[in-house]
Structure 1
Amino acid sequence: MNPLRIVIVDDHPMFRHGVRTLFSTTPDLEVVGEAANGQEALTLASELIPDVMLMDIRMPGESGVEITRKITSRFPAVRILILTMFEDDASVFTAMRSGAKGYVLKDADKDELLRAIRAVGNGEAIFSPGIASRMIEYFSMSRPAASEEMFPELSVREREVLYLMTEGLSNAAISSKLEISGKTVANYITNILNKLQVQDRHEAMRLARESRKDI
């Protein structure tokens, strides 16, 4: 059986070296490339079509979430396993919505990481135990309204602002509609961009519109 071909995407060279060293004694896994940022990851995905890409979330330039969205849409054969230190609900749900097949924390032990890579390489979805427990708890709760289900990381008011943005309203119009100050609207939009891990309001609006199509 051919080994799973892995690309490591992380902006810390020492971390990439550590992961590569970890895999050097694992015959069924082969590191075929490393990327320090999103653009390098896109290039390697195109050139190598690896089986699995280990993707960090926070990197210079485009976030790992946005790069994951681009890779999974352009190269569906490439499976993404998020490997990060961030375990907040916003990061988890946004990453999975972007097309990632798994989510593992960087403090995972060797056996857990290897198990996750092999599972994702075989087309399965997998999460760190603590994250899996939170997701089970979330989905076992009473079913929320559609807008809340799409963006559980946003507050009620933030989802309201996002909805008005997708309707084409300017900040001033949103301010008038909700009877809040323009500064407050701007603060809400900043929160939305940070929680959805997108770069600007246009990406947030696109993500919201795509999600609404699935209702």
Structure 2
Amino acid sequence: MDWRFVKAFGIRVPMRYGIHGIDVSRHNDRINWQRVRQMEADGVRLQFVFIKATEGATLADKHFDKNWREAKKSALRRGAYHFYHPTRDPLKQASNFIRHVELSPGDFAPVVDFEVTNGQSDKTIIDGLRLWLETIEAHYHARPIIYTNGNLYRRYIKGNMDEYPLWIADYSNPHLRNYDADKLYLWQHNQSGWVQGIRGRVDFNVFVMDEDRLGDICL
């Protein structure tokens, strides 16, 4: 893996990949999208963004609507994600996302952000996640993407939801040999980058498949 420290981003970036992007939420406050789009350093340009839309059964990210609009205007490929709580009704969580997110052709498929277990049983977590995924797929006619970390992937996703595209958060590994290469599309490799136009630290991602496979995970 060819890693290079890119000073403008303040992090090491895996240069073997050609499509780089970020993800944001209300924690990043108000974003200047024109400046985000213009940023380029060491040949790396940001091409996509995932934006937090909803959480649980009732919460919506207060900056989502504006971020969603502005990301499209600045010609970044955009995706929306839902932060999943295993203690909440999966159907209500799916409805919450559907109520707030209208997708257009070219947008990424919906994403479930699965990073907390809230002390629930394996069965509750697996059954609930599957119900959310199936409900969302039926509505948008696109197979959702699962975002999670290595530990949760191994315990809950692997062997249970292998048909879904995977977006993995893994900051310690310089490689991706621990994951199914046929299903891994996105890698969040750092959570401490800097981007002009955005306050605070930003999560950095790369698309790890061949570039002509990008359409697999878009509407």
| TM exceeding 0.5 | no
Structure with the largest fraction of strand = 2
> Which structure would you say has the larger Rg?
1
TM-score, with structure 2 as normaliser: 0.34
Q: TM-score, normalised by structure 1?
A: 0.35
Q: If each structure's helix is expressed as a fraction of its own residues, which one has the higher value? A: 1
